[in-house]
Amino acid sequence: MDIVRNADGTLVVPVQQERRPAAEDGADTPSVDEAGGEEQTEARPATRVLHPGEGGYDEALAEWDRQQNPDRGPAVSTADGRREAMGLVHAVAASSDHAVASEVSALDHPESAAEALRHVLVGGAPSVEAFASEIAEAKGGDPLTAHQATKIIGEVLAELD
């Protein structure tokens, strides 16, 4: 099962449920193993919704991005791409109408900015926090929270794909 990104930025990720013994009422009668003991019933796949800023979200977003184009190589960040990505995230965060599409269309090198953002995601939460701090140092103001930065990165990558 693939990861699904919802319009609100949440991700629906597959999780493996714990294996549990079958109910005693016989509804799911387990098979008997060769030693005579009961086997556990098969675990069924389930999903979990992750919100930006929640533990595991950054990694799931990076995996979702890889699923969009499985033939794409590893993310490589260039200095120009990182600068453009920083400017883009700052502009979207500062925008009163959160205009992702218009900010993305104004990019000179959208592929380089996307690669820089993918590179940030691959590093997980510490990388996103450092990126947000770097934006604040370069552009001024308080750093975005990891939650805000990750959500904007997800929106930008969705727009670019």
The string of pLDDT tens digits covering residues 85-132 is 999 999 999 888 878 988 999 999 999 999 999 999 888 888 999 999
Return the pLDDT at 53.
Answer: 77
Does 77 reside within a domain?
A: yes
Give SS3 for 110. helix
pLDDT, tens digit (0-9, with 9 covering 90-100), for 38-91: 555 555 568 999 988 788 888 888 888 889 888 888 877 889 999 999 999 999
Domain count, the chain: 1
pLDDT at residue 75, rounded to an integer? 77
Residue 144 lies in a domain: yes
Write out the residue range of the structural domain in which residue 107 sits. Answer: 57-160
What b/e string do you get for 98-130 counting C-beta neighbours within 10 Å, with b at 16 or more? eebeebbeebeebebbbbbbbbbbbbebebbbe
Dist. CA 71–CA 145, nearest whole Å: 32
Look up the pTM and report it.
0.68
Tell whether 119 is covered by a domain: yes
- Is residue 36 a part of any domain in this protein? no
User: pLDDT tens across 15-31, in order?
Assistant: 877 666 665 555 555 55
